[in-house]
């Protein structure tokens, strides 16, 4: 991974590798959610009617955590994808921006493990704040790239 960061300025398309990782990670969580819901339905822990409006009954805690987390993966990560696109289009890919993109992916993966695992709120907060710090850094790089290309 070090080469993907240090070669980023000479190979700007490398900024999209963490984006691909994030997209694949999100799809993996969607599959995980589908499998959990299928197990819950087949074991009769959840009635099919629950999924009509998500208002009668509920899901087992392990499936509910994954469901909440999947929703979370569609909140801040779009800003990550957009920042990487802006940085690339404005020719601002650098070692710093690539490092921040990889840091974002790593922090989001850690957040998934914590949130859908033991769900320690303190650890979840730190992993989320780590991803937020990386995202802010990416947007600072994006802003610098836009200003430099104007």
**Blockwise average pLDDT, block size 10, the chain, 150 residues:** 74 94 98 94 87 80 92 96 97 95 98 95 97 98 94
| Count of structural domains, the chain | 1
Q: Is the separation of the CB atoms in 67 and 122 below 8 Å? A: no
Q: What is the pLDDT of residue 1?
A: 61
Question: What is the pLDDT, as a whole number, of residue 6?
Answer: 76
pLDDT value at residue 2? 72
Residue 34 lies in domain: 2-149
- Entry pTM: 0.91
CA distances from 120 to 72, 103, 107 (A): 16, 21, 15
What's the rounded Cα separation, in Å, for the pair 33 and 62? Answer: 10
Question: What CATH number is attached to the domain comprising 50?
Answer: 1.20.120.550
d(CA 74, CA 66): 13
101 within 8 A of 79, measured Cβ to Cβ: no
């Amino acid at each position: 991974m070090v080469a993907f960061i240090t070669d980023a300025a000479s190979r700007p398309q490398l900024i999209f590798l963490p984006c691909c990782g994030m997209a694949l990670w999100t799809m993996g969580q969607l599959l995980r959610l589908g499998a959990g819901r299928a197990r819950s339905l087949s074991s009769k822990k959840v009635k099919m009617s629950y999924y009509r409006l998500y208002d009668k009954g509920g899901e087992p805690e392990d499936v509910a955590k994954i469901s909440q987390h999947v929703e979370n993966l569609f909140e801040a990560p779009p800003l990550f994808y957009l920042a990487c696109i802006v940085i690339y289009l404005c020719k601002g890919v650098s070692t710093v921006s690539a490092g921040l993109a990889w840091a974002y992916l790593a922090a989001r993966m850690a957040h998934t493990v914590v949130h859908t695992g033991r769900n320690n709120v303190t650890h979840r907060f730190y992993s989320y704040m780590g991803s937020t710090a990386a995202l802010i850094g990416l947007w600072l790089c994006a802003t610098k790239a836009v200003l430099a290309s104007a």
